[in-house]
Structure 1
Amino acid sequence: MRRGTPEEAGLIPAGLDAVDAAVQAQIDAGVIAGAVTVVARHGVVARIGTPGYKDIARGEVMAEDTIFRIFSMTKPITGTAMMILHDEGLWHPDDPIAKHLPELSNLQVFVGEADDGTPILAPVDRAPTIMDLMTHRAGFAYGVAIGEPADRIEAMYRDAQVLQANDLTDMIARLARLPLAYQPGTRWRYSLSMDVQGAIVERLSGQTLAEFIRSRIFTPLGMVDTAFFVAPDKRQRLATLYLKMGDMPLTAIDNPLRPDPEAEPRMAMGGGGLFSTAVDYARYTQMLLNGGELDGVRIVSAQGVREQMTNRLPNDMLEARFVAGHQAFRPGFGYGYNGVVFTDPALAGIPVGRGTYHWDGAAGTWFWVDPENDVLFVGMIQLLSYTAPPLQATTQCLMADALLG
């Protein structure tokens, strides 16, 4: 990706300064340790910001090649892997999930509990489809073992240790023994649907998920620092992960979901687990903006990118205002495949272009691509907090003042 001045990219320096100042203010307030941000327009990288610290105690500053745990920013990449296989005619949105994962042929739905606590189950009204899976509407829950389980279904997922399976085949076997949280297609619920997609990628490609996305996405895109583990010779570049609760100072912690970053996981997860740099991820997002190619190398079809970045939620689900972290679904703010899609930015209250696609990660990483304005933005921090600042929305609002025509 070519680097140039803001003016060459069609951006106003003072507008970018305001974005940088908003990030710096969070560092000055002790809310985040540091950040790396990348802004590009018309294929030109206009600014890379590296304020603050990679590790506070050691006085190590952020750098362009700092590596971050991107958690759920893995999900859009898994969506692209699925679209590559869709280009090859290997699945259709209306396919029942069980067509590709027959273990999930006999799913039932949790509808309540008997007096003795026994789950009451009902048959599915219809089989969940790939479309449901790509949009968190299949009926699955998550089972992430942090905090108290939100409901009985979450507790059942934790008891079955679905996310601690030996590999994706084992994960699907454990999932097959559990009920769905609701009738397929009737609700939006943040879930391990993208991990199930990872299992489909493996079945359809004959490769592990990690091998597939490395060979079909990362290597051709030149994403040299993106993987499900950090090689020992890159370990010193990994940013420290911090926890902040209430008024407590930033406290360095291990990743509660996977404490050893140097070990290649037995089970690569389609919903989380990747490590990347802001510059690497910018290459992925520029590929999306370019309609599936970068530097003359095509990753996925233009139609596949359009399908990934098209809203799939009906109006009644937007009116229901489902929430996942900072993502509050509402009229104008919908969901495509594995990420948010703005259908009416004015109605949603965020001044981005129509068709903007974005997502974020549990440790505060965020990105968006805005095809209407030909803009990408990638931001990376390492903060686990229930009161993390809404940097995605903040920077989106400020970037509106940085656009030159």
Structure 2
Amino acid sequence: MIDPKNLATAALAALAAATQAHAQPKWPAVDAALSPYVEKGELAGVVTYALKDGRLVHASAIGKRDLETGAPMQMDTIVRAFSMTKPVTAVAMAILYDEGKWRPEDPLAKVLPELAGLKVFKGMDADGKPILAAPAHQPTIGEVMTHTAGFSYGFNPGYVDDAYRANSPLRAESSAEALGRIATLPLAYEPGTKWQYSISMDVEGLIVERLSGQSLPLFMQSRIFGPLKMVDTGFVVPDGKRGRFAQLYEWKDGGLQVPGPGPFNSAYAKVPGFASGGGGLVTTASDYARFAQMLLNGGQLDGARILKPATVRLMMTSHISPEIAAGGYGVGQQQIRPGYEYGWNGVVVTDPDRAQVAMGKGSYLWDGAAGTWFWVDPENKVVFVGLIQRLGGENTPQVQPVSQKAVKASLTP
């Protein structure tokens, strides 16, 4: 009699082999551009995945997903998406937009009245106490969608970010607790006047929960991951999949090391009480490519309609003013500038030549703290997903521009 456990193990092994068999580096320029980072020890491994005209044209896994065990990076390796969660949260918001449940001009407090009393930090008085004042207008949902609402992340020096570090909503154990913490934090600037990387997408997650009546994980699963057949994407890595979960690294003392305990090194062993719409997901290359291809297709994939075409266009259109675009704002490799602007939860390339990037006009993109990156290029009908697991810092590999140039070279006859 066949042991069911052995049968299940054999089935999983066959699935893994089939998934790995999809690796087809038809664009050798991509591997040539990225493999040196692995060879030099600057990355443990990298997965790249590209679709052209809706067809798989490149899939490659190089290096290791775990340097200690020697386990290879594979096409089905699960990684921490971190801020590549943000475009997914934009789609969750856009679904509710299509249902008429919010508009960009709506005050944030219309949906989350707990945030009606937010104040703007205006500096310190002569006694060294903070000056807090009512904003000229309450933050709008549209400003939340574009990092222009006045929120911060706690990454910067100064009074506002000190308050974020002391009372971080991202450490909350529930959505209600996170919302309560946000209500106590000052806005860093007058809404609509600046661009600042922030907890805005975590606020969006709270909006999704309030408007839908579901938790963010349940909403995303039922409205996005399930319909798109994103089978390995979510807020937790189940026991049966943990063998595919890549190790996280940071650059320290001249080499790759596993980071110590901290907010970036979660075990992802259970669904969090407060699910981060700004950075909580894990995913695979093929899963995220299905999400990106849905955007390229105008909101649908394989018969599953997620968004209206007009709403996808709205998401992938710049919503910042020329003054903000030219204001010198940005984070990491995403430096906002004329031609390289900001839509809903992601960069929009409005002028590739002016921005000096090797992507088509209208491309939509974002990245994550562990180096993951993707873009959707409507002009060239290309989707590209790149996955690594290395936190930024000294000697950060420039995987984004080199891969963009390699893809552009691959498209050239």
Could you state the TM-score of these two structures normalised by the residue count of structure 1?
A: 0.93
What CA distance in whole angstroms lies between the structure 2 residues aligned with 1:45 and 1:347? 30
Displacement of 1:331 after TM fit? 1.1
1:367 counterpart SS class? strand
What CA distance in whole angstroms lies between the structure 2 residues aligned with 1:317 and 1:87? 27
2:43 is aligned to: 32
2:369 counterpart SS class? coil
Cα pair 2:61 2:75 within 8 Å, conserved = yes
1:9 is aligned to: none
Within the alignment, does 1:200 sit opposite 2:211 as a pair? no
Instruction: Give the alignment of 1:243-322 within 5 angstroms.
Output: 243-245=250-252, 248-253=254-259, 256-257=262-263, 258-322=265-329
Name the aligned partner's letter for residue 259 of structure 2. I
Within the alignment, does 1:76 sit opposite 2:87 as a pair? yes
Cα pair 1:5 1:46 within 8 Å, conserved = no
Cα pair 2:76 2:244 within 8 Å, conserved = yes
Instruction: Give the alignment of 1:23-172 within 5 angstroms.
Output: 23-143=34-154, 149-172=156-179
Within the alignment, does 1:393 sit opposite 2:401 as a pair? yes
Cα pair 2:296 2:378 within 8 Å, conserved = yes
Displacement of 1:259 after TM fit? 2.4
Percent of aligned pairs with the same residue?
A: 48
Cα pair 1:23 1:391 within 8 Å, conserved = yes
1:103 counterpart SS class? helix
Cα pair 1:168 1:199 within 8 Å, conserved = yes
What CA distance in whole angstroms lies between the structure 1 residues aligned with 2:268 and 2:178? 21
Name the aligned partner's letter for residue 250 of structure 1. L
Instruction: Please give the per-residue CA displacement for 1:133-173, whole angstroms capped at 9, x wherever unaligned.
Output: 000000001136xxxx5221111012123211122222111
What CA distance in whole angstroms lies between the structure 2 residues aligned with 1:172 and 1:261? 22
Displacement of 1:401 after TM fit? 1.1
Name the aligned partner's letter for residue 381 of structure 2. D
- Unpaired runs of at least 5, structure 1: 7-11
Name the aligned partner's letter for residue 36 of structure 2. A
Structure 1 residues 137 and 292, CA gap change in structure 2 (3 angstroms): same
1:402 counterpart SS class? helix
Displacement of 1:248 after TM fit? 1.6
Displacement of 1:4 after TM fit? 9.3
Displacement of 1:117 after TM fit? 2.9
What CA distance in whole angstroms lies between the structure 1 residues aligned with 2:64 and 2:23? 25
What CA distance in whole angstroms lies between the structure 2 residues aligned with 1:377 and 1:343? 18
Displacement of 1:392 after TM fit? 1.2
Name the aligned partner's letter for residue 174 of structure 2. D
1:184 counterpart SS class? coil
2:255 counterpart SS class? coil
Displacement of 1:263 after TM fit? 1.9
Displacement of 1:254 after TM fit? 5.1
Cα pair 2:145 2:344 within 8 Å, conserved = yes
Cα pair 2:64 2:71 within 8 Å, conserved = yes
Displacement of 1:398 after TM fit? 1.9
| Higher mean C-alpha deviation, range 305-314 or range 73-82 | 305-314
1:375 is aligned to: 382
What CA distance in whole angstroms lies between the structure 2 residues aligned with 1:98 and 1:158? 24
1:353 is aligned to: 360
2:191 is aligned to: 184
| Higher mean C-alpha deviation, range 66-75 or range 380-389 | 380-389
Displacement of 1:284 after TM fit? 0.3
Alignment RMSD, CA only? 1.8
* Poorly superposed stretches of 4+, deviation over 6 Å: 3-6
Cα pair 1:322 1:328 within 8 Å, conserved = yes
Displacement of 1:5 after TM fit? 11
Structure 1 residues 132 and 113, CA gap change in structure 2 (3 angstroms): same
Cα pair 1:74 1:272 within 8 Å, conserved = yes
1:233 aligned to which of 240, 247, 254: 240
2:229 aligned to which of 217, 222, 225: 222
Cα pair 1:143 1:162 within 8 Å, conserved = no
Instruction: Please give the per-residue CA displacement for 1:204-250, whole angstroms capped at 9, x wherever unaligned.
Output: 000001100010000110000001010011111100001103x5211
1:241 counterpart SS class? coil
What CA distance in whole angstroms lies between the structure 1 residues aligned with 2:77 and 2:52? 22
What CA distance in whole angstroms lies between the structure 2 residues aligned with 1:255 and 1:217? 31
Could you state the TM-score of these two structures normalised by the residue count of structure 2?
A: 0.92
What CA distance in whole angstroms lies between the structure 2 residues aligned with 1:200 and 1:361? 22
1:244 counterpart SS class? strand
Cα pair 2:23 2:61 within 8 Å, conserved = no
Instruction: Please give the per-residue CA displacement for 1:323-369, whole angstroms capped at 9, x wherever unaligned.
Output: 20110111100000000000000000012111000000000000000
